[in-house]
Structures are given as C-alpha cells and as structure tokens.
C-alpha cells in the first residue's frame, strides 16, 4: 500500500503543474519590488533602518495577495475535481475520502508556507535594495528584540489569519462544490473583516471577544495593542478563538465531503 505522502505528492503535482500557479508566484515576486520602488519614489532618502518599516508595509500588502492566492488553490483543490469530473476517478481508489481531503488540506497549507517564504525573502531583499540594510532595526519604533524576530512574528501572525480564511474557503468549496462561490465568499470574509469587526466593536458587549472577525488581524499584538477594542485579550486567547472556528469549519468540510453522494 502506498503511503499518505504519495497523495500529497499528487496534490502538489496538480498545483505546480499549472501555469496559473507560476503566474501567482510571479506576482508574489514582483509585488514587493513594485511596492518598495513606489515607497522610495514617495519618500526619497530616509534615515537608517527604514528598510524594516518598508518591509513591514510591503509584507502586509503582499500577504493580502498570498491569502487570496491560497484561497484560490484551496477552492480549486476540492471544487475543481468536481468541475473537471476527475472526482469520479479520485474517489474510486482504496483510500478513505477523509484521507484524500486531508492530503488536499495539507498541500494547500504547504502552498501557503512556500508563498510566505518567497514573500518574506522578496520583501526583505527589495526593501534592502532601495533603502539599504540596517542591522539595528531602528526604523521599527515599537521594536522589542531583534528586527528579524519581529518580522518572523509578523509573518506568523498573518499566517494564522490566512489559515482561518483558507479553511473557510475550503469548507465553502466542499459544501458548494463551486470554486467561484468559495473564492468569492472567502474574499468577502477577508475584505469585510475589518468593517464587521468595527461594527461589533460598536456593540461593546463582552461576548464580542468570541467573534471571529475581531481576531482576523492579529498584528495589533505586535504594536502592543489588542484586536478587540476595550478588552485586554492575550494572543493565546485570540488563537484559541480562531482555532475553535477552524475546527468547526473543518468538521463541516469533512462531514460534507465524506458523506455526500457524487452525482455530478
């Protein structure tokens, strides 16, 4: 019996043998370059350590793109098989449906990690290219320890939010078997998150700290702030709240994918 990793290998083949994936990667490579160039044109020569604050800004913009690209891949991973009709060949092998779905989920997360790594490297390199390298990290006013640790934390926090949005897209894809709908709703979640969290903040009750939208931007912890206005939550609490939503989304995805008849 072949191992589980051969399934992940298959999913990776279906991701990286597509031209669209490499076009996406092209955007992840070029966007930080464009952003640094733009910021350089806007600000001109700045003081020492500017490369870190530039990297932070371009990383936040870039991560938006990486999240959308991962959502596209997550939606395609499930709904695509139904659209292409290949689901009928995929599910008639000696593998449980739950295992097949897990291989898709894992390959999607690996995709996000790969793109995050490329994004990290590119936003670092391009900010250094335009603003020079400064080891002290003076440009980051709220810096606690080293600028490298700060940047890694920034990426880790953004990655957590990405997992939530992507898991949501994965669920939509599994439930509706339509990648367009799944992508659309996930981007809606991503875009409306801030507005909705603002509205919930206006409600001002204690329970809003359990609302997912309040925790979708965890980077406020980096600046010494809190994602839920007026409530001093910890990062651990935020992660626990998000984890609860991720678990629920995954229960829905797995239940629907494993139970439903393939009639298409």
Binding site for other proteins (CB under 8 A): 1-2, 6-7, 9-10, 13-14, 17-19, 84-86, 88-96, 259, 261-263
Q: Minimum distance from CB of 109 to other proteins (Å)?
A: 20
Q: Minimum distance from CB of 5 to other proteins (Å)?
A: 9
HSE-CB of 90 using CA atoms within 13 angstroms: 24
Cβ closest to other proteins, residue 17 vs residue 205: 17
Q: Minimum distance from CB of 142 to other proteins (Å)?
A: 46
Cβ closest to other proteins, residue 86 vs residue 146: 86
Q: Minimum distance from CB of 193 to other proteins (Å)?
A: 33
Neighbours of 4 (CB within 10 A): 14
Rounded Cα gap, residues 45 and 24, in angstroms: 31
Cβ closest to other proteins, residue 205 vs residue 259: 259
Rounded Cα gap, residues 79 and 89, in angstroms: 14
Is residue 71 within 8 Å of 171, Cβ to Cβ?
A: no
Cβ closest to other proteins, residue 9 vs residue 250: 9
Residues in the chain: 264
Rounded Cα gap, residues 106 and 203, in angstroms: 37
């Amino acid at each position: 019996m072949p191992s589980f990793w051969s399934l992940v290998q298959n999913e990776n083949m279906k991701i990286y043998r597509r031209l669209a994936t490499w076009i996406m990667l092209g955007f992840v490579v070029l966007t930080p370059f464009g952003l640094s160039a733009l910021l350089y044109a806007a600000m001109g020569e700045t003081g020492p350590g500017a490369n870190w604050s530039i990297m932070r800004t371009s990383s936040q913009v870039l991560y938006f793109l990486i999240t959308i690209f991962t959502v596209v891949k997550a939606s395609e991973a499930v709904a695509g098989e139904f659209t292409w009709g290949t689901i009928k060949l995929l599910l008639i092998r000696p593998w449980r449906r739950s295992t097949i779905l897990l291989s898709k989920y894992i390959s999607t997360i690996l995709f996000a990690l790969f793109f995050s790594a490329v994004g990290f490297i590119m936003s670092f390199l391009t900010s250094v290219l335009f603003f020079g390298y400064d080891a002290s990290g003076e440009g980051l006013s709220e810096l606690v320890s080293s600028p490298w640790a700060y940047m890694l934390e920034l990426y880790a926090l953004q990655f957590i939010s990405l997992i939530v949005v992507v898991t949501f897209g994965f669920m939509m894809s599994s439930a509706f078997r339509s990648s367009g709908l799944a992508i659309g709703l996930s981007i809606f979640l991503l875009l409306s998150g801030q507005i909705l969290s603002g509205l919930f903040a206006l409600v001002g009750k204690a329970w809003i700290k359990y609302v997912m939208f309040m925790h979708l931007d965890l980077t406020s912890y980096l600046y010494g702030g809190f994602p839920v206005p007026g409530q001093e939550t910890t990062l651990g609490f935020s992660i626990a709240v998000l984890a609860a939503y991720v678990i629920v989304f995954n229960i829905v995805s797995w239940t629907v994918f494993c139970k439903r008849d393939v009639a298409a």
